[in-house]
Structure 1
C-alpha cells in the first residue's frame, strides 16, 4: 500500500531552505541610466504583465539581482520566476533557495500569492517583515524535509501536455479569403443585449473555481479564480472592457462559465449563435477599440450603439455561415 503524501508548513524566513530579502537594486524608473552597453538586462517592476518585466536596460550603477529566483511585489501581489540576472524597481522582494529550479519556482509561486492576498486585508498591510513570518504548506519526505523531487515532478507532469500542444500548433493559416464576400455595418444592439458585470469588489472575493474576467487587455481578460453565486455568472458569451489598463473596447469570447467585474459588459445574444460566430464578432468589436480610453469610456449605451463591420449575404443580411466557416478554417 502506497504511503500517502504528507504536508507541513514552512516559514519563508526559514534559512534552511529560503533566503528572502530586499532587492539589491531597487531603481526608480525615472532614475534608470541610459548607457552605451547592450540593453539585455530585464527591469522587473510590480507590473502583473510580461513576467514582471517592464523593459530591458543596460548596465546600471546598482548591483544586479541574481537569476534563478522569485520576485515578489508585495502591494500588487505579483510573483514571478526570473531565470536570468535582473534589475528591479521599488518595493520588489527576492526569494532565493539552493533548491530552486524553474519547476520548483512554479510550484511555490501560487502558494506565495495566497499569502500576499492575506496581507492585503484591513490594517494588515504588506511588508517584508510580515511576509517573512508567513508560512507555506509543502509536501515533505520521510524526514519531514520539503520534498523537492515531488514538487519538480508534479510541475513537470503539468507542463508536458502543454508543451505537446504548443509543438503540434493549434492554428493553421485561414483557408478562406475575407475579401471573398461583401461587408456591411451593423449595430451591436441588432444582435445582443448588454449586462454589466456583477462580481462586486475584487478585494471582497474569495478564491474559488469560477474565472473572474476584468478589464484587462491580455490573457482573454482573465483575472483570477473566485467563488461567487451562480446568479452572477455568464456563460458562453462575449465580454467587452468598459475601461481598464489600456483595454477599453477590447472584446473576448468565453466558452465557459465566468463572472465579470463592473468594468466589464457581457453581451448576451438575442438569438442563438455558434461559438465560432461569437469569436468572429468579438474580433470585429475589438477592431473599434482604438476610439475608447479613460477619457472616453465605453458605457453600455455607447456599446449598444457601436457599429461593427460584418460579412453579409447577397440580400445584405449577416453571413453567419461564412463567419463560422472562416473560424473553423483557422482552428483544428
Structure 2
C-alpha cells in the first residue's frame, strides 16, 4: 500500500465520513426473550464477533432491530466488528455505517478503527460517542483526493482471501493428520468404560495457588496473566514480569474467587494470579487435560462468591473419571475420546471453509 496516497478524515459528526449512531435496540440481557433463534445478539464482548447468543424476533416491540452491513463498536471495550445481517444489541453499542459499506471494506477499516480507539481509556480521556465522532482516521484517496473505496474493496478482498486460504489449509492438514491417526480406532462413547471417583489431590501432584500481582506492579509484555475472569481462556492481560511471580505451563487453572470454579487448559507458559490455582500432572497431555477440564468446570455449581475455593477444599473434591479393567484411570481412553471429538469438530469447520 506504499503506492497509495493517504489523507486524514474525521470519522463521524457533521463533517465526518461515516454515520455513527447508538443502537436502536440496546436490550439488557435480563430483558431478552432468550428463546433460541437466528438473530445475533451483539454485546461489547471481545469474543465471537461480539455475538453473545442467537435469538428470535419475538422481543418487546419497543426494541427495533438493527440493519446489517454495518460495523458495531463497543466504546468502553474497544471492540470493533462487522455485522453482515440484522441484529439486536446490548447496551453501549455504536453503529458505524456508510452507503458504500461491504464486507471487504469493513475488513479494511476495522484495524484502522481499532488503532485509533487505543487512545481511549477509562480516565479523563475515556471513550464517548462524541470523542469517537471527532477522531480522525487516515484513509486512502484517489487522484481527486476523495476516499478510494475501490482500493479499500480490493485490498479488503485480498486480505480476506489470504486469511481464508491460510486457515483452510491449516484446518485441512490438521484434519487429515488426525483422521489418518485414528482410522483404525472404533468410535468411542462414554458408556464404553466404568467410572470411579478420583480426588483432585490424587489426580494432580502439583496443585498450588498463584501469586498476587497488583495492576500497579504489572509490566507490559507477552506472557499471559491468568486471573479469575470467565472470558478469553482466563487471560486477564499480557505481562513481562519475571521476578516474584508464579509461572506454570501445559496445565489447568481453576478460579478460586471472582468467576469461581471456571477452569481452563493452557497449552503455553503463563503467570498465575492469586485468584487461580494451577493443577499439574506431568503424565497428562493436552487431551487428558481437555477431558478433565470439562468435568472440572462442573464445580462451578458447588462454589460461589460466599463459598470460595481454597486448597483444602480443592484437594478433597472428586471427579468421576473412566477406568480400565484394573480400575486405574484410563488415560488412553480419555486421549482417544478427545481426539475423536476434535476430529468431528475439524470436519465441521473443514466443510464450512473448503
Q: TM-score range by the shorter chain?
A: 0.7 to 0.9
Q: Secondary structure at the match of 2:86?
A: coil
Give the 3 Å change call, closer, same or farther, for CA 230–141 of structure 1 in structure 2.
farther
Find 1:162's aligned residue among 147, 162, 167: 167
Please name the residue that 1:292 is paired with.
303
Does structure 1 retain, via aligned residues, the 8 Å contact 2:12–2:20?
no
Which residue does 1:21 correspond to in 2?
A: 20
* Whole-angstrom distance in 1 between the partners of 2:310 and 2:109: 40
TM, length-normalised to structure 1: 0.74
Q: Is 1:278 matched up with 2:278?
A: no
| 2:107–2:156 CA contact under 8 A, matched in 1 | no
Distance 2:217 2:88 in 1: 30
Q: Does 1:240 align with 2:267?
A: no
Q: Given the two structures, how large is their TM-score scaled by the length of structure 2?
A: 0.70
Out of 319, 324, 330, the position equivalent to 1:319 is 330
Between 1:55-64 and 1:229-238, the stretch displaced more is 55-64
Equivalent runs, 1:1-332 vs 2, <5 Å: 10-13=9-12, 18-23=17-22, 25-29=24-28, 42-48=40-46, 51-53=50-52, 55-58=55-58, 60-61=61-62, 64-136=65-137, 140=140, 147-148=151-152, 149-163=154-168, 170=175, 175-190=187-202, 191=204, 192-196=206-210, 200-201=214-215, 206=220, 209-217=222-230, 220-221=233-234, 226-230=238-242, 232=245, 233-244=247-258, 248-260=260-272, 262-269=274-281, 271-332=282-343
Partner-residue secondary structure (3-state), 2:334: helix
Matched residues in 2 for 1:166 and 1:268: separation?
29
Q: Which runs of 5+ in 2 are unaligned?
A: 344-354
**Aligned-partner Cα distance in 2 for 1:265–1:230:** 19
- How big is the shift at 1:121? 4.2
Please give the per-residue CA displacement for 1:181-235, whole angstroms capped at 9, x wherever unaligned: 43322221222312326664499674x64445454546544566x3423565532
Distance 2:9 2:316 in 1: 55
Give 1 or 2: higher helix fraction: 2
CA distance in 2, matches of 1:8, 1:298: 55
How far has the Cα of 1:267 moved from its partner?
1.8
Root-mean-square deviation over aligned CA pairs: 4.1
Asked if 2 retains the 8 angstrom alpha-carbon contact of 1:23 and 1:94, the reply is yes
Q: Please, which runs of 5 or more residues in structure 1 have no aligned partner? A: none
